[in-house]
Amino acid sequence: MKIRLYATAKLASGLVYELSKEQGNYLGNVLRCREGEELFLFNPQDGEFSASYKSKKEVLVGQQTAIAQNELPLILLFAPVKFGKIDLLAQKATELGATVLQPIHTQHTHISRINYDRLKSNAIEAAEQTGRITVPEVKEVVSLEKLIANWDSNIKIIFCDDSLEAKPIGEVLKNLPKANYAILIGPEGGFSEAETAMLKKKDFIIPVTMGKRLLRAETAALAALAAFQAIAGDWREGC
């Protein structure tokens, strides 16, 4: 198993990297690493480096094994779901290439508390396990109205509309112009009529339907991310 850890400090060959208490416990007590055992450190700024385990407190940074990457922005806008499900959403969205996780509050949102540290930890763990060098940015919750009012119209929003009035997501994704994109998923129970009407008035919002089956919010989010990557994203390039 390739051991990878997200590094919070600068990485360069020859540096001694100080492990956090959690990282030291994971390597020393959970994985029972021995002195000299190989592992890998990474961060979005410096890329990935091999490293040699010294103790629960530090590792020696070796050679660079992957350079820092510029990823195409793919923002996930989602209404928070219940504890456990939101952890899964953060993990899988990271695996699927989301670059920003933006919780939103809607008229039908019932979850009021979000553990941001836990979300970030889930995203980091998923990046470590999947070979990803970047980690999604986790932003604080914002109301849907405020988000749309302050939105950069150069970033197109793929609005997953459950009214079945929009074109199928596959058809829309095949004909997308080159741009930066976000995917918008509503809460359990969907968007209100007023919210849906407001969204459909915006030129930068592209409504799509995901079929006649009613999907849970977290399922819809992951399905939309997978569809985007397969049809319009980096899966087409075999990345």
Q: pLDDT tens, 200-212?
A: 999 999 999 988 8
Residues 59-85 as b/e (b if ≥16 CB within 10 A, e otherwise) read bebbeeeeeeeeeeebbbbbbbbeeeb
Q: Report the alpha-carbon distance of residue 179 to residue 156 in Å, rounded.
A: 7
Asked if 94 and 136 count as a contact pair (C-beta separation under 8 A), the reply is yes
pLDDT at 190 over 90: no
Residue 159: closest CA among 206, 198, 196, 192:
206
The per-residue pLDDT for range 1-12, each reduced to its tens digit, is 799 999 999 999
pTM assigned to the model: 0.91
50's enclosing H/E stretch is strand 47-53
User: What's the angle, vertex CA 150, arms to CA 144 and CA 44, rounded to 5?
Assistant: 90
Q: Which residues make beta-bridge pairs with 49?
A: 41, 64
